């Protein structure tokens, strides 16, 4: 039974230079029509693939808080009428420091949102400008203060390292500033230059200067050291939380569980089928208007693929892959499937094994992608 849902809001008031998520400029877009279509997609999914109760919901983008208070109210009220939300434990929405105002916060709170994920990336003004962000350090501080006043007790900040012109000291100061604000959760990711972004164009033109790999390693090591010192628990490669504030929704992904994906460009995983919706807004809206699923691609996940996914997703978690659970779900032991790979990675000091299962070592964290590759395309169907 599906217990999680992701909802995509593709509208942005400004496009960041690194972003490759499905998004469009807000101005002159059919936002109200999109919300109506989104709710119709949810209603039809509940008819075709019902669930008794969702436990986690995540509204991402784009910039969900680019919607007006009335539009947010329409969306959230409609979701409560269509989806089984009475037992939701974690209800997250992504927010932009520039678009958080008292009335919007009140709407979010009134409809049961209990977790805010704020895109900050850095507290350095020169770097904010470099990556195309429009907020300032002061607006972040102010947004968090207003969120606290509105009653939000679970706030997560997104940070980035490996940014153009960023030095290890810059990132260390950003980490310290973020933790000084008392937030419950931090996510920190290394910049990846993706196609169809401003940074990709600049890189192709030779106009993008990124930090050397050794500096990125130093930044990640700083992240590990400073968060640990401040009492944040690293529960996933890029995620750190105070005790009890780990993201329940993201754990759905890392535990390789199924989830609904609603909205233009959204990904979902239902009945062992991974799917992606149409990204372009007109195509998504036309599909909904024609009463057909707005799905662009579907892939039936094979038993072998499920096992492989369980490994490279599960190893992202610091507790690793549970031996007993793996055997229960897939009917095979870890060693039966990957004994040779596990032994080889242990000898290299990248994996460790115990009665619980297997997990990355400290060195394995730095070479995680190399570890994950060892579990792909090695099993016979």
Range of lowest pLDDT (54-63, 187-196, 225-234, 289-298): 187-196
**If DSSP states are collapsed to H, E and C, what string results for the chain?**
CCCEEEEEECEECCCCCCCCCCCEECCCCCHHHHHHHHHHHHHHHHHHCCCCCCCEEEEEECCHHHCCHHHHHHHHHHHHHHCCCCCCCEEEEEECHHHCCHHHHHHHHHCCCCEEEEEEECCCHHHHHHCCCCCCHHHHHHHHHHHHHCCCCCEEEEEEECCCCCCHHHHHHHHHHHHHCCCCEEEEEECCCCCCCHHHHHHHCCCCCCCCHHHHHHHHHHHHHHHHHCCCEEEECCEEECCCCCCHHHHHHHCCCCEEEECCCCEEEECCEEEEECCCHHHHHHHHHCCCCCEEEEEECCHHHHHHHHHHHHCCECCCEEHHHHHHHHCCCHHHHHHHHHHHHHHCCCEEECCCEEEECHHHHHCHHHHHHCCCCCCCC
The pLDDT of 368-375, averaged and rounded, is 95
Contact 305, 269 (CB under 8 A): no
* CATH number for domain 4-254, candidates 3.20.20.70, 3.40.50.720, 2.60.40.2470, 3.30.930.10: 3.20.20.70
Contact 185, 241 (CB under 8 A): yes
Nearest C-alpha neighbor of 216 from the set 365, 316, 346? 365
Fold agreement (4-254, 307-373): no
Contact 187, 157 (CB under 8 A): yes
pLDDT above 90: residue 157: yes
pLDDT above 70: residue 381: no
pLDDT above 90: residue 250: yes
CATH 3.30.429.10 fits 307-373, yes or no: no
How big is the chain, counted in residues? 381
* Angle formed at CA 17 by CA 16 and CA 19, multiple of 5 degrees: 65
How far, in Å, CA of 201 to CA of 206, rounded?
Answer: 9
Q: pLDDT for 67-109, tens place per residue?
A: 999 999 999 999 999 999 999 999 999 999 988 899 999 999 9
Range of lowest pLDDT (60-64, 265-269, 292-296): 60-64
* Angle formed at CA 303 by CA 298 and CA 307, multiple of 5 degrees: 105
Q: pLDDT for 170-184, tens place per residue?
A: 999 999 999 999 999
pLDDT above 80: residue 17: no
Query: How do the domains of the chain map onto residue ranges?
Result: 4-254, 307-373
The pTM for the full model equals 0.95
């Amino acid at each position: 039974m599906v217990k999680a849902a992701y909802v995509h809001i593709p509208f942005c008031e400004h496009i960041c230079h690194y972003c490759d998520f499905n998004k469009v400029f807000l101005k002159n877009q059919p936002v109200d029509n999109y919300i109506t279509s989104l709710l119709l997609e949810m209603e039809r999914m509940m008819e075709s693939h019902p669930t008794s109760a969702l436990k986690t919901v995540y509204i991402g983008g784009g910039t969900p808080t680019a919607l007006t208070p009335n539009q947010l109210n329409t969306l959230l009220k409609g979701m409560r009428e269509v989806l089984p939300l009475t037992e939701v434990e974690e209800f997250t929405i992504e927010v932009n420091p520039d678009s958080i105002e008292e009335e919007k916060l009140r709407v979010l709170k009134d409809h049961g949102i209990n977790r805010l994920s704020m895109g900050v990336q850095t507290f350095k003004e020169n770097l904010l400008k470099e990556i195309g962000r429009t907020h300032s350090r002061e607006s972040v501080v102010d947004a968090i203060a207003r969120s606290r006043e509105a009653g939000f007790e679970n706030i997560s900040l997104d940070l980035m390292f490996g940014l153009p012109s960023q030095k290890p000291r810059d990132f260390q100061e950003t980490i310290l500033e973020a933790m000084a604000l008392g937030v419950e959760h931090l996510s920190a990711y290394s910049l990846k230059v993706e196609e169809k972004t401003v940074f990709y164009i600049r890189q192709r033109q030779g106009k993008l200067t990124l930090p050397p790999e050794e500096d990125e390693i130093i930044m990640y090591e700083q992240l590990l050291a400073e968060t640990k010192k401040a009492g944040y628990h690293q529960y996933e490669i890029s995620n750190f939380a105070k005790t009890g504030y780990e993201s329940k929704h993201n754990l759905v992904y890392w535990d390789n569980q199924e989830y609904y994906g609603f909205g233009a460009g959204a990904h979902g995983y239902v009945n062992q089928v991974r799917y992606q919706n149409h990204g372009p807004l007109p195509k998504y809206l036309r599909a909904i208007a024609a009463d057909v699923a707005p799905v662009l691609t579907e892939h039936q996940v094979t038993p072998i693929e499920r096992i492989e996914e369980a490994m490279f997703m599960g190893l992202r978690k610091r507790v690793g892959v549970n031996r007993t659970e793996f055997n229960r779900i897939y009917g095979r032991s870890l060693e039966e499937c990957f004994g040779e790979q596990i032994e080889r990675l242990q000898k290299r000091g990248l994996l460790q094994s115990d009665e619980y299962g297997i997990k990355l070592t400290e060195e394995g964290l730095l070479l995680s992608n190399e570890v994950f590759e060892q579990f792909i395309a090695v099993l016979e169907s």
